[in-house]
């Protein structure tokens, strides 16, 4: 019995670093098309809109499937589900390497999108095995798996240049398989819930106003993180004529900074309250988006404003997910999946909108003005909803 308990404790200690790295490489797979977008545009003669769709397509499935995978994580356990996901990702990575047309790239990009569901699995897995008073910090650290977007931006253009475009996909299979082994053999099983909930019972969280409020907040903060992470390389190439490798390296800086800021947001949420953090975050993002809109012709102004937005969005992501287990301790998996799905969708639409706006107006200004408007709405809603109610149970605010 003591040996079994000791083994469980060792696996529990390994849970946070293993799931964080597993999510990091999953996110690298999720973002693999972004650094190659300009290359594919030249290869197949794509318009800005077509290129944007290719970049955004993986975000779609990865967003929609977060809700069911969050629920399934509660039901069958994070170790099993995470392992199955990593095994599945090998298939579209092999297929994408053999794709020889825009249509086939879109096909495999859709299924590569499943990598984005790693977030719902990992967050639910970690939150269920972490004491409530440490969840903000633990989930902030776990969500540093978002750094995978930067890993893709750093590595994919260089791999493609050195070994050819197919190896940008095939090379990802190695770390995915390594993480599959680590997750399966070295993480613990989640404790079984006292009562198995039906899908209908899991979806009952949809009736709570806080569910939709958090979904909107994450739609903006994580949506900004994803949208900048996957579209910034193309944006920098278009605006300043940078090479894909140079643009990828610069875009990776955004992802790194946003990822490092996320645990700070979770930690501050533990210490001073997530609602206070979000007030500062949305005010900052509103100002940052306006500076980008009217200062993007200057690469230094653009760089400074983008990095500022990176910090704000990263802190916002950590603060939002401090509120999820705090307000929904019994339905963390379902709410994580739903809020995560909306966050992913927040990253799906902006690249497409940016492509359409660029083709229609020849400029990206309108897109950043829209971002500023959305962040201002979130600022006002946060003050209205959580100004006095952040610590009260979610169910008191059911619609």
What six digits make up the tokens of 86? 């990593």
Taking the C-alpha atoms of residue 211 and residue 213, their distance in angstroms, rounded to an integer, is 6
pLDDT, tens digit, for every residue of 170-197? 999 999 999 999 999 888 877 666 666 6
Q: Mean per-residue pLDDT for 345-358?
A: 80
Q: Mean per-residue pLDDT for 199-208?
A: 66
Q: Mean per-residue pLDDT for 367-373?
A: 89
Do 126 and 16 meet the contact criterion of CB atoms below 8 Å apart? yes
CATH class of 1-196: mainly alpha
User: What percent of the chain has a predicted confidence (pLDDT) above 70?
Assistant: 87
Taking the C-alpha atoms of residue 46 and residue 209, their distance in angstroms, rounded to an integer, is 42
Judged by DSSP in three states, 208 sits in strand
pLDDT, tens digit, for every residue of 218-253? 889 988 887 787 788 878 888 888 887 788 778 878
By C-alpha distance, which of 266, 309, 282 is closest to 216?
282
Domain boundaries, the chain: 1-196, 201-389
Judged by DSSP in three states, 160 sits in helix
CATH topology (fold) of 201-389: Growth Hormone; Chain: A; (1.20.1250)
What six digits make up the tokens of 378? 């979130």
Confidence of residue 391 (pLDDT cuts 50, 70, 90): very low
pLDDT, tens digit, for every residue of 139-152? 778 877 878 888 88
Report how far apart, in Å, the C-alpha atoms of 207 and of each of 26, 139, 187, 204, 334 are. Answer: 31, 25, 34, 6, 12
Do 374 and 252 meet the contact criterion of CB atoms below 8 Å apart? no
pLDDT, tens digit, for every residue of 156-169? 888 988 899 899 99
| Domain 1-196 and domain 201-389 have a common topology | yes
What is the rounded average pLDDT for all residues in the chain?
Answer: 82
pLDDT reported for residue 360 = 82
pLDDT reported for residue 96 = 92
Examine the pLDDT at 393 and tell me if it is beyond 50.
no
pLDDT reported for residue 253 = 83
Examine the pLDDT at 372 and tell me if it is beyond 70.
yes
Do 323 and 214 meet the contact criterion of CB atoms below 8 Å apart? yes
Instruction: Write out the DSSP string of 321-356.
Output: HHHHHHH-TTSHHHHHHHHHHHHHHHHHHHHHHHHH
């Amino acid at each position: 019995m003591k040996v079994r308990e000791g083994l469980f404790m060792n696996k529990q200690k390994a849970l946070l670093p293993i799931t964080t790295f597993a999510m990091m490489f999953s996110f690298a797979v999720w973002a693999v098309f972004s650094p190659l977008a300009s290359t594919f545009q030249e290869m197949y003669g794509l318009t800005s809109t077509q290129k944007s769709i290719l970049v955004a397509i993986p975000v779609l499935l990865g967003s929609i499937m977060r809700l069911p995978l969050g629920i399934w994580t509660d039901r069958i356990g994070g170790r099993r589900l995470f392992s199955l996901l990593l095994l599945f990702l090998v298939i579209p990575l092999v297929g994408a390497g053999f794709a020889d047309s825009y249509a086939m790239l879109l096909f495999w990009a859709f299924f590569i999108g499943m990598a984005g569901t790693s977030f719902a699995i990992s967050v639910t897995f970690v939150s269920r095995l972490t004491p409530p008073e440490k969840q903000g910090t633990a989930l902030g650290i776990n969500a540093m798996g978002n750094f995978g977007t930067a890993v893709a931006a750093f590595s994919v253009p260089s791999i493609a240049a050195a070994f050819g475009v197919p190896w940008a996909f095939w090379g990802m299979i190695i770390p995915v398989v390594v993480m599959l082994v680590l997750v399966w053999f070295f993480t613990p099983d989640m404790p079984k819930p006292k009562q198995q909930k039906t899908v209908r019972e899991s979806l009952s969280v949809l009736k709570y106003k806080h569910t939709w409020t958090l979904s909107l907040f994450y739609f903006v903060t994580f949506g900004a993180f994803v949208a900048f992470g996957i579209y910034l390389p193309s944006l920098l190439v278009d605006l300043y004529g940078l090479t894909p490798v140079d643009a990828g390296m610069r875009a990776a800086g955004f992802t790194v900074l946003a990822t490092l800021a996320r645990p700070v947001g979770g930690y501050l949420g533990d210490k001073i309250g997530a609602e206070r953090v979000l007030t500062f975050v949305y005010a900052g993002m509103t100002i940052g988006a306006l500076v980008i809109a009217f200062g993007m012709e200057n690469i230094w102004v653009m760089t400074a404003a983008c990095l500022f937005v990176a910090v704000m969005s990263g802190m916002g992501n950590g603060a939002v997910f401090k509120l999820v287990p705090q307000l929904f301790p019994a339905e963390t998996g379902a709410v994580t999946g739903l809020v995560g799905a909306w966050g992913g969708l927040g990253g799906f639409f902006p690249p497409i909108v940016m492509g359409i706006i660029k083709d229609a107006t020849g400029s990206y200004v309108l897109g950043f003005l829209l971002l500023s408007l959305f962040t201002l709405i979130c600022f006002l809603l946060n003050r209205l909803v959580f100004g006095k109610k952040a610590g009260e149970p979610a169910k008191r605010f059911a619609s």
